Structure 1
């Protein structure tokens, strides 16, 4: 099992290219099930989750060509991948595939819309929260689907003649459920109005792609999305938007270590709240022709309180990284997690590096310390793992991060990008 070894103390200086967004790429890939034509996606990152979803889509009959060829391209940061699903080979998504990645459950929407039926395994547990599928099933039921749960599988059947447009209000904001209902509604009969929809940039990116395929979607990026159903969708070419979580992560790493880094190929509009919060800590952030420049001069990191919220609020996916930054602040900060009920598992690992963090329910009190000291630590989930990397970059001595397969799910060539900016980071295989 691979590990990441970090020798802390070096300021980051240079250029880091930002990859395509994992959280956008996955629903875009799943949208290929909605058409018999080819969907071409540009700027698709090399990630374990992307590779896993390609295997799942292949099970449903999607033919996949990377950069026009079958083999994987290893020398580019981004890829162009062509997805063609002439026919649905199988409407069942088995447990052995769905259990490895929760987002694979989202195939239920396109399968139901295109084939009128779907049998999808309930997803397994998740380290950062339960994330039940009730919202997905209620939304599909609103479109006329008959839903039964049997033997750990969701059996969904559309009415004769297809799904029916409807008005539905989510009781709570859910990005995944918004993706699924929007995809299903594209081929429904009539108009669907989705209220209290997720507003994340990834939802808008999916809507833009679906519209390029011939869908009629308006309001994406707001709380109300309207989808006018169409008879069929065609192929399209779409570029995956930049990864805002990767952008924020590297911005916080620069603030943690000091230095001067340009993040290329990203857009400040994707994470304005997080960048404003980072500015309050003392970092200087300016737009460039190619992306964002992050600079922190001086030794002080100012303490700032944050509360995670759905977009456009502070992202839950940057909470662990920001906590790592606050461990070196010049005072006390408070971090409140409102999205997931179990997303503080990195606290104990940060404490191994010398952090002073106390928990009270869903709030963490972080008392900044003058120094962190390297130690062996264990990654517990994707974002927690990179928070340990950020802490290790500023810690004295050597930090070894175990279970880095979590990192590979969402950060493309992290050690390579950091090394190019002067960090002492290497992957070690046992």
Structure 2
């Protein structure tokens, strides 16, 4: 078992570069199955979720070459076969194979997805969309068997009962080769959806409206190979901005798209965080006194649920009382008990979190209860006096590319060790 050891209380300074978006690339890789030629992705992060997706693609027959942040995939050898259950169950984003396999073969045999335990995350919206396009579902042991009539999906008018990034992307993947027009209403608007639509259009798809709440897809017969640059990871960027405000003495975060973080940065400015936002970077100054604020997550363009936990340690440094309400995932509170072990005045109250500051954190033995809670533990460990030991670090490595190296370059005393 691996763990992260942090000797906290050290001020950090320097530059850090944000990697490609984890929430994009986990959809872009399955989307490549739809192509009839080689697809190259640039800016692919070095995270374990990417490793798992590459394993799945190779198991299915794809040819994969990886050189640093460049990933080249030839999907022409992919076979119409049951998905490898163990690998599918290891990450939530495996459900994107449903849409891509349905789009290419007219059927998919897959297990239920895994990932972080953040409360109910049903896939009923995905299945509803597939059924509207002519697919039916049966269970075969631990697998779902989705099959389109005559192995050909058809266009449909689909209204999403709730805004869902995963269901929106999965419907797009299934629809790009379907016969006719598909309209998705109440679609999610996240930048990652635009990124996936850009890749599909570069492959020859006809997708309009990505980034709005109505997406229109005209089905095509074939998609070709292409080259695509993955967008910067807005969640990683937001994590490093919070970290810089908490423990930095001047840190520049490069490869940031401000328009992807407007509501988040506005909330930081409300707290009193001093920063300079440039075209593709953010410089965060050394902070003085910060004031407590309340946070409420919501679908894009609101404050992202994925940034709620990384932001929490910084909130503990503020003066006053505040609350955190996550409207997306009810169980996104695993970090609260771990921060309390470090001396934080923080608690859960039914469906929200309350905190009081400022807090002086003390190093402790804590665990990452999920991916973004792990980021919160790292920031808290850097803030704390003494040594912090973090277990369950596999969660963290799923979504933060080269995080140990990046923090070490900023001056952190942090190491990943085998227990």
CA contact (8 A) 2:107 2:151 kept: no
Aligned position for 1:243: 233
* Match for residue 295 of structure 2 among 271, 287, 306: 306
- Mapped to 1, the partners of 2:388 and 2:77 lie a distance apart of 50
Gaps of 5+ in 1: 68-72, 74-78
What secondary structure sits across from 2:200 in the alignment?
A: helix
* Match for residue 400 of structure 1 among 374, 382, 389: 389
Change (3 A) 1:308 1:289: closer
Aligned position for 2:330: 341
Q: CA deviation at 1:290?
A: 4.5
What secondary structure sits across from 2:398 in the alignment?
A: helix
CA contact (8 A) 2:90 2:115 kept: no
What secondary structure sits across from 1:296 in the alignment?
A: coil
Change (3 A) 1:124 1:263: closer
Change (3 A) 1:161 1:153: closer
CA contact (8 A) 1:36 1:87 kept: no
Aligned position for 1:35: 35
| Cα-to-partner distance string for 1:90-121 (whole Å, 9 max, x where unaligned) | 33113212111121121011111111111111
- Mapped to 2, the partners of 1:289 and 1:316 lie a distance apart of 25
Give 1:195-214 correspondences, 5 Å limit. Answer: 195-214=185-204
Change (3 A) 1:33 1:125: closer
* Match for residue 131 of structure 2 among 130, 141, 144: 141
Aligned position for 1:120: 110
Aligned position for 2:404: 415
CA contact (8 A) 1:61 1:85 kept: yes
Tell me, yes or no, if structure 1 residue 380 matches structure 2 residue 381: no
Give 1:245-284 correspondences, 5 Å limit. Answer: 245-284=235-274
CA contact (8 A) 1:191 1:229 kept: yes
- Mapped to 2, the partners of 1:256 and 1:287 lie a distance apart of 17
Gaps of 5+ in 2: none
- Mapped to 1, the partners of 2:106 and 2:80 lie a distance apart of 12
Q: CA deviation at 1:130?
A: 2.5
CA contact (8 A) 1:4 1:401 kept: yes
Tell me, yes or no, if structure 1 residue 59 matches structure 2 residue 48: no
Aligned position for 2:342: 353
Aligned position for 2:283: 293
Q: CA deviation at 1:275?
A: 1.1
- Mapped to 2, the partners of 1:125 and 1:306 lie a distance apart of 25
Tell me, yes or no, if structure 1 residue 105 matches structure 2 residue 104: no
| Cα-to-partner distance string for 1:28-54 (whole Å, 9 max, x where unaligned) | 111110012011100001100000010
CA contact (8 A) 1:41 1:239 kept: yes
Q: CA deviation at 1:87?
A: 3.6
Is 129-138 or 18-27 further displaced after alignment? 129-138
- Mapped to 2, the partners of 1:396 and 1:126 lie a distance apart of 29
What secondary structure sits across from 1:328 in the alignment?
A: coil
Aligned position for 1:20: 20
Q: TM-score, normalised by structure 2?
A: 0.97
Q: TM-score, normalised by structure 1?
A: 0.95
Length, aligned pairs only: 419
What secondary structure sits across from 2:44 in the alignment?
A: strand
Q: CA deviation at 1:288?
A: 3.1
Divergent runs of 4+, >6 A:
none
Aligned position for 2:304: 315
Q: CA deviation at 1:368?
A: 1.2
Aligned position for 1:76: none
Q: CA deviation at 1:297?
A: 2.9
- Mapped to 2, the partners of 1:247 and 1:126 lie a distance apart of 21
- Mapped to 2, the partners of 1:139 and 1:158 lie a distance apart of 12
CA contact (8 A) 1:56 1:104 kept: no
Is 140-149 or 152-161 further displaced after alignment? 152-161
- Mapped to 1, the partners of 2:397 and 2:322 lie a distance apart of 30
| Cα-to-partner distance string for 1:255-309 (whole Å, 9 max, x where unaligned) | 11142111111211111111111112221222335522112332x1211111111
What secondary structure sits across from 2:239 in the alignment?
A: helix
